[in-house]
Structure 1
Amino acid sequence: MPLLSTVLAAALAATPACVEPPPDPSNTFDAARTYEKLVRDYPDIRIAADPLPAGVRKIGDQVYAQYGARCLKLDAYLPAGERLPVVVLVHGGGWKSGYRSEFVPMALRLARHGYAAVTVSYRLSGEARYPAAVQDVQAAVRWVRAHADELHIDPQRVALAGGSAGGQIASLAGVTAEAGEVKAIINIDGLSDFTSELALKHEDDPKKNPSSAGAWFGGRYAEQGALWQAASPIRYVRAGMPPILFIGSGQPRFSAGREEMMARMAQAGVASEKLILPETPHAFWLFDPWLQPTVDASLAFLYRYLR
């Protein structure tokens, strides 16, 4: 036993301390800046914000993965109870920007209804290209399941959810996870097929040098076609995969491939559901009055497939 303690102490001493990366001035995707862009066309919107509900505790800045001195962190919002179902939330930002704080309002509203909710950071495309972000989210799921006792959650009832790029990442991480790790997926305005005509029209536009997807993959479709295909959740439809709720804006380009993926899921005998919020902008989940119907649909779906 003393030898084990000595080895463990040496290993811990050899682990580099976490170093926060410096603020990135190009990372401009957040609720406040998005509000400034949208309020002229949608004057009734409000940035969604919620206080920490009574009985819900926050466990913040938990390191779930470390690469040298680079640490990836998550925040957990935990209502009272034991063996709670948990939703891991993945932020958007075109794979190149965004913050986990984007999903705090949704996390708190889920927690108010008895769900543990976890918001995660992951490596953006400027730091590490595909598939790093997907691997990070899967690592976060494994961390949450491994710490089920401390978090008072049920490791057999884990859902993944995300918006925009986070919706695509959540879908891909969920459908390619080890069997049983993820039981349900919520894709909010995220791509299902990078290779669809609609997605290529925008994400492989030669006028964008590079596009957000092109930067993530390290090249255009003609150059990195195998990666564009591999990152498309539609490629992994199969019997036994998790059911998916698709929540879409009034901007079809951001959920390209959704209808075909739902059709393939039906053929495979896998449940899928869809809610479209018409006349809404992309990133609608950052704002009221649109966050609440997003949460309501998510709660109904999670009750069916996670409870």
Structure 2
Amino acid sequence: MFAKPKILLSWLALLLSFASLFLSSWIILPPPNMFLLTLAVGAPEISPWLLLLNLLSLLLSLFYIHRHKLQRLACIFSLIGLLICGWVLVNIPLTQMQMDEAMKQGLGANYLEQIPVQVSAEMQTHPFNLVNSFKGIALSKTRHQKDILFATPAEVPLKMEVYQPPEVGKYPAVVVIYGGAWQYGNPHANSEFNQYLANRGYTVFAIDYRHAPKYQFPTQLDDVRTALNFIRKHATEYEADPERIVLLGRSAGAHLAMLAAYQPDAPHIRGVVDYYGPVNLTEGYKTPPVPDPINTRVVLKTFLGGSLEELPNQYQIASPINYLTHPLPPTLLIYGSRDHLVEARFGRQMYERLHDSGNTAVFLEIPWAEHAFDAVFNGVSNQLALYYTERFLAWALFKQ
């Protein structure tokens, strides 16, 4: 009578142990396509949850699987999953120490002392909070305006979203540029991040731009520059300080943020934050990642209108790394060691070039992180990135 439920529980325990290992394995496995890339992005970010899942599957295997061979197999699955997830969590303190040192090396050993006390008091107190991994990072109410038209180039309406602190005032501005291989996306992306910053005393402008393949470079750069002109012109209306602006972008958006800030005729920009952005399109085309889930060369050809052999000058003009001939705004670069779209070596190369040319720069590398790691707002990597991004923004925009 009770045999069937026991058999069912036994097979469920085995299935759970396999599923938990499968999900955990993408913390270390390279993703060969876009579907598996999604798993590779998310797995390390939810590693505390996966750790519990592997622990649960281990306990169920011990209690409910009575066939010795199946029990041993299920336990092995669960233990391997636990080790993989544990690798992420165990490495957090060392990564935090390395990031602390990189910030001090780039901004000065006393950079935190330059941030007003009232600003520091609003920032996250720890680089990683395990409770936040489960509960989520607390978000408070802010003022939010949508569908603000800032330009209509070629009769294409370009709009932005504005996130403002709850109280009326005058605040430094963070201009956020979304990613999406220059082909897709919208200003509503990463809205939790924008809301978080607005609640901490920034006016956040999330801007739009036209997409490839219909619109190719430099159209996207032109749109970003148009948005910046609009923001400066209408700064008072949105309670923003036009003399205190930082550009922050992700992936393709980070590429555009750097290009816009590094132009010789760029308006005054206090800093640039680059989340895993392409910086050297020439080298990116020559040596794409392996595996290459997004097909890098096709993306670049779509964006620039042709191959490197056909348009070598266009690739050079579109590469932020080629604009280090004059003083540039301080730059924070954050990359994942396991990024299979924009490899961390490019971010490191950009940092070294900036440093060698006498510009202020900080390079932070997260050992387990994939591209777009901050898609999980309360994830392990985003907690670290957010902690140091807050400090960079405060240093660049509030320093005394």
Instruction: Verify same fold: TM over 0.5.
Output: yes
Q: CA distance change for structure 1 residues 238 and 70 in 2, over 3 Å: closer, same or farther?
A: same
Does 2:273 match 1:186? yes
- CA gap 1:147/1:108 in 2 versus in 1, 3 angstroms: same
Counterpart CA distance in 1 for 2:216 and 2:356 is 33
Distance 1:293 1:186, change over 3 A: same
- Give 1:119 shift: 0.9
Aligned partner letter, 1:113: R
One-letter code aligned to 1:275: L
2:155 matches 1:65: no
Structure 2 counterpart of 1:285, which letter? Answer: D
Deviation at 1:81, TM superposition (A): 4.4
**1:92/1:165 contact within 8 Å kept:** yes
Report the Cα distance in structure 1 between the residues aligned to 2:145 and 2:240, rounded to whole angstroms: 13
SS in 1 for 2:327: coil
CA distance in 2, matches of 1:224, 1:99: 28
Q: CA separation in 1, counterparts of 2:389 and 2:311? A: 34
Identical positions, percent: 25
Q: One-letter code of the match for 1:72?
A: L
Runs of 4+ in 1 over 6 A off after TM superposition: 45-52
Note the 1:156-235 alignment, pairs <5 A: 156-176=243-263, 178-196=265-283, 199-202=285-288, 208=295, 211-235=298-322
Q: Which amino acid is the alignment partner of residue 278 of structure 1?
A: P
* Higher-RCO chain (CA-CA 8 Å, sequence separation at least 6): 2
The alpha-carbon distance between structure 1 residues 271 and 153, as it changes in their structure 2 partners (threshold 3 A), is same
- Listed as ranges, the matches of 1:146-161 within 5 Å are 146-161=233-248
Read off the aligned partner of 2:361 and give its amino acid letter: S
Point out the more displaced range, 280-289 or 152-161.
Answer: 280-289
What residue is the counterpart of 1:3 in the other structure?
A: none
Asked if the contact 1:194–1:256 (Cα under 8 Å) also holds between the matched residues in 2, the reply is no
Deviations 1:188-225 (A, max 9, x none): 001111122x552228x9x9596111110111100111
Q: 1:292 aligns with which of 383, 395, 399?
A: 383
Query: What is the CA–CA distance in structure 1 between the aligned matches of 2:135 and 2:269, rounded to whole Å?
Result: 27
Which of 347, 351, 358 aligns to 1:262? It is 351
Question: What is the rounded CA distance, in whole Å, between the counterparts of 2:172 and 2:295 in structure 1?
Answer: 41
TM-score, length-scaled by structure 2:
0.62
Measured in 2, the distance between the counterparts of 1:103 and 1:181 equals: 25
Q: Is the 8 A contact 2:42 2:373 kept in 1?
A: no
Partner residue, 1:305: 396
Instruction: Name the structure 2 match of 1:20.
Output: none
Report the Cα distance in structure 1 between the residues aligned to 2:36 and 2:234, rounded to whole angstroms: 35
Distance 2:134 2:215 in 1: 30
1:219 partner letter: G
Match of 1:74 among 160, 183, 199: 160
Alpha carbons of 1:98 and 1:73: their partners in 2 closer, same or farther (altered >3 Å)? same
The correspondence for 1:109, drawn from 196, 199, 209, is 196
Gaps of 5+ in 1: 1-31
User: 2:245–2:271: 8 Å Cα contact kept in structure 1?
Assistant: yes
Mapped contact 1:47–1:286 kept (Cα < 8 A): no
Letter in 2 for 1:53: S
Q: Are the structure 2 counterparts of residues 275 and 42 from structure 1 closer, same or farther at C-alpha, using a change threshold of 3 Å?
A: closer
CA positional deviation for 1:95: 1.2
Query: Matched residue pairs, number?
Result: 272
Q: Which has the higher helix share?
A: 2
Counterpart in 2 of 1:88? 175
Deviations 1:38-74 (CA, angstroms, capped at 9, x unpaired): 55676547899889733x2111111111124310000
Letter in 1 for 2:219: A
The AA in structure 2 aligned to 1:222 is E
Counterpart of 1:211 in 2: which secondary structure? helix
TM-score by length of 1: 0.79
Given the superposition, is the C-alpha separation of residues 85 and 91 from structure 1 closer, same or farther in structure 2, using an over 3 Å criterion? same
Bigger radius of gyration among the two: 2
1:279 aligns with 2:368: yes
> What is the CA–CA distance in structure 2 between the aligned matches of 1:172 and 1:36, rounded to whole Å?
31
* Pairwise CA distance, 1:304: 1.4
Q: How far apart in 1 are the matches of 2:45 and 2:237? A: 43
Name the SS of the counterpart of 1:212 in structure 2: helix
